[in-house]
Structure 1
Amino acid sequence: MIFAQGRTGSTLLENLICSTGHFQSRGELLGGYRNPFVSYPYPYLSGLANASPKENFIFHLKIYHLTRDRIRRGKKPIDPGLFLKKLADDGWKIIYLKRKNTVRHIFSNFIVGHRGRYDKLDDAREDIKIEVDLKLFEASVEQALEHQRAEMEALAGLEYHEVVYEEDLENADGHQKTLDAILDFLSLEHRKAKAALKRINVKSLEKQILNYSDFCDLLERRGWRRYLHQEQN
């Protein structure tokens, strides 16, 4: 199970893992615009996994699949910590994916809105310039940081393998090393892998944000300027 927020590289990570042939891609089984709402997630996942007992099974879980998304549907939220523990007790392995640079993380959502699509499959140059809605950006960063705190709380006491986007996925040259560590964690044989997806956002924020000065003022006011330093380093 890949446990991660959206736009952290979870699709890239699943694509990389599945390219080994150990898994078939299943994506966000409990959420996402392609899938129907699942009222009873645990029996649903167990049923799918048990239907193919000889196959390895992988899917993405976002913490808000269990909380916010259920509340919006008028359903009772599920405690993420208890849910993860139940899966772990049943033998599921947890791969926790996160991004260190939350500003870049949220900006990637704005890029998706600008492009009108999520993934990139070629090396074609894209000249992206965006006027950032600063109020929306501020609220989105706050929400992402809160999700990250909730994720760490849910993972407390559980065994998991951590993948950091900036260290393990951003540079394609490190993909095999990242994958080998994951396969070791899963007790699966090493295999060569290659992701089909390409990185969308390679330019500095300064070159992509039209209201960059106001954007920097926001980061300074909220104590998020360090994320710009992470980008420069």
Structure 2
Amino acid sequence: MPVLDEATTFLRQQYLFVRQQFRHLQAGLNYLSGRPLPDTRFVLFGRGRSGTTALVSMLDDVPGLRCEGEVLHDYVPFPRRHVLGRTARCSAEAYGCKILSYQIEDVQRPPGRHEDFLHTLHHDHGFHILYLRRTHLLRHALSNIWARQDTFHRKKSAPDTEPTAPRVAPEHVIEWMERAEALREYEATLLKGVPHLSLTYEEHIRHDKAHQPTVDMICDFLNIDSVPVESSYRKTAPSALRERVANYEALARRLRGTPYAEYLD
């Protein structure tokens, strides 16, 4: 079975790569065709496990607005042209897509300086920038670790099952938080000189009651009409960290005395 699983994973990866390159070809043709871009266009920029998927779901429910997911998840030769081509093929009045910071840093190789990627999209091509981040480093790290085993967020149509709290390696958690801090600094360089709407998971995504005001604020920022929306994702993670981690006390002992102790319950 492990061999079969490995073969299935390999074939899936190859399929996704080929699909991405086909979409890149389509995007390139759209870019070269000179088709006009939608009047309103934006990038939802941030980091994985920060509420970006839920926000894409909500924004995509707004009439006249098409919001895509991670258009730069896999390598493409011309990432900026890929974004422009994906935008050009959209027939809606407003178009947005999600781009994660690690994709600009590690996956893509845009011509020129990486740091100019968002700057060029905004200043040269009229893209608005929405920046969504997660401020609680420990919860963010645990969310990333858990996502590689199961998920604390599921489609609302999925069967109701109780997630099992995982055991975590404290050093692994610290590595995730250190990586998050490094990405936060990198994101600051990408956003330097780029006007943007700043959002946080904790204030704008975590609680259901914040969803509609968040969408209203974004629509106002984009100068489009808002409507009542509802995320198709539901949060299933317990709120207390002690319930999220099977060996919470061991994790707490390791973090005490470090800058990350402030994130403990």
| TM-score by shorter chain over 0.5 | yes
Select 1:27's aligned residue among 69, 88, 96: 69
Counterpart check, 1:104 vs 2:142: no
Q: 1:183 aligns with which of 202, 207, 219?
A: 219
Secondary structure of the structure 1 residue equivalent to 2:199: strand
Q: Return the letter of the residue paired with 1:39.
A: P
> CA–CA distance in 2 between the matches of 1:97 and 1:111?
20
SS where residue 191 of structure 1 aligns?
Answer: coil
Looking at secondary structure, tell me which structure has more strand per residue. 2
Higher RCO (C-alpha 8 Å, min separation 6): 1
> Is residue 128 from structure 1 mapped to residue 170 from structure 2 by the alignment?
no
User: How far is 1:43 from its partner?
Assistant: 1.0
Report if the CA contact (8 A) 1:106-1:140 is conserved. yes
* 1:218 lines up with 2:254 in the alignment: yes
Is the aligned partner of 1:44 residue 2:82?
yes
Q: Give the direction of change, closer, same or farther, for the CA distance of 1:207–1:118 in structure 2 (3 Å limit).
A: closer
1:73-88 to structure 2, matched below 5 A, reads 79-88=113-122
- Name the CA shift for 1:103/1:227 in 2 (closer, same or farther; >3 Å): same
**Equivalent position amino acid for 1:169 in 2:** I
Residue by residue over 1:5-43, the C-alpha shift from the partner in whole angstroms, topping out at 9 and shown as x without a partner, is: 000000001111111123234200001xxxx42121011
* Structure 2 SS opposite 1:100: coil
Alignment partners' CA distance in 2, 1:105 and 1:9: 10
Determine if the alignment matches structure 1 residue 56 to structure 2 residue 94: yes
Secondary structure in structure 2 of the residue aligned to 1:94: strand
- Taking the aligned partners of 1:102 and 1:138, their CA distance within structure 2 comes to 9
Change over 3 Å in CA distance of 1:125–1:119 after alignment to 2: closer
Q: CA separation of 1:67/1:38 partners in 2, compared to 1, >3 Å: closer, same or farther?
A: same
Judged with a 3 Å threshold, the aligned counterparts in structure 2 of structure 1 residues 78 and 206 are, in CA distance, closer, same or farther, namely farther
Q: How many residues matched? A: 221
| SS in structure 1 of the partner of residue 65 of structure 2 | coil
CA offset digits 1:158-211 (Å, max 9, x no partner): 110111111111110111111111000000012111111101313311122122
Would you say the 8 A contact 1:66–1:78 is kept in 2? no
Matched-pair contact (CA < 8 Å) for 2:70–2:98: yes
**TM (normalized to structure 2)?**
0.77
In the alignment, residue 107 of structure 1 is paired with which amino acid? L
Shift of 1:125: 4.7
Q: State the TM-score, normalizing by the size of structure 1.
A: 0.87
Distance 1:222 1:22, change over 3 A: farther
How far did residue 118 of structure 1 move?
Answer: 6.1
Q: Which has more radius of gyration?
A: 2
Please, which moves more after superposition, 3-12 or 107-116? 107-116
Partner amino acid for 2:145? Answer: F
Gaps of 5+ in 2: 1-42
Alpha-carbon distance between aligned partners in 2 of 1:76 and 1:177, rounded to the nearest angstrom: 35
- Counterpart Cα distance in 1 of 2:136 and 2:155: 21
Between 1:6-15 and 1:126-135, the stretch displaced more is 126-135
Cα RMSD after superposing both structures: 2.1
Q: 1:120 touches 1:200 (CA, 8 Å); kept in 2? A: no
Deviation at 1:113, TM superposition (A): 2.2
Instruction: Specify every segment of 5 or more residues in structure 1 that has no aligned partner in the other structure, as ranges.
Output: none
**Corresponding residue number in structure 1 for 2:11:** none
* 2:128 counterpart residue number: 93
Q: Decide which moves more: 185-194 or 198-207.
A: 198-207
